[in-house]
Amino acid sequence: MAKVRRSVLAGQAVLTAVGAYVLAESAGLGLWNDLGPGPGFFPCILGAALVLLSAAWFFQERAGVQAAPAAEASDRSQVRAVVLSLLVLAAALPFIGFQTGVFLFLMYHLRLRARTSWIKSLVIALCGSVGVYYLFTLGLNVSLPEAGLVPLSLIGL
């Protein structure tokens, strides 16, 4: 077993304490009510995840598992591309709607950045845009942006 540095132990202790605090406070908000998940449901899940991940980090450190190597320059360009395309997507959503915007976003990243095949890119982009749109609008009753441009809104996008 590897010796764990005090700074790492302190970080793990702080994260575990924050997770435990979130768990305790979320239980006071109510986890469930007559309509379904209550206001404390998702914070409870997040607090539990933080505690479990902190415990996993502790055991990895004790076992001597090494962290991933530092990011290379090519990874930074990928991050820049994703962040920039997300900003463009956020700006374009009111005009082109969720389905079209997410479809174009996914096609850009799958076909142009990751160089996947056309068929695979189209299938994933369609499922990721149209499928998620209907999951949220019909299944969860959450409204997502619809196209503001007349030609796109006329065809239901």
> How far is CA 116 from each of CA 69, 108, 111, 112, rounded to the nearest angstrom?
26, 10, 5, 8
Q: Would the pLDDT of 72 be above 90?
A: no
| pLDDT for position 156 | 65
pLDDT band at 65 (very low <50, low <70, confident <90, very high): low
**What 3-state class would DSSP assign to 37?**
strand
Which residue(s) pair with 37 in the sheet?
A: 32
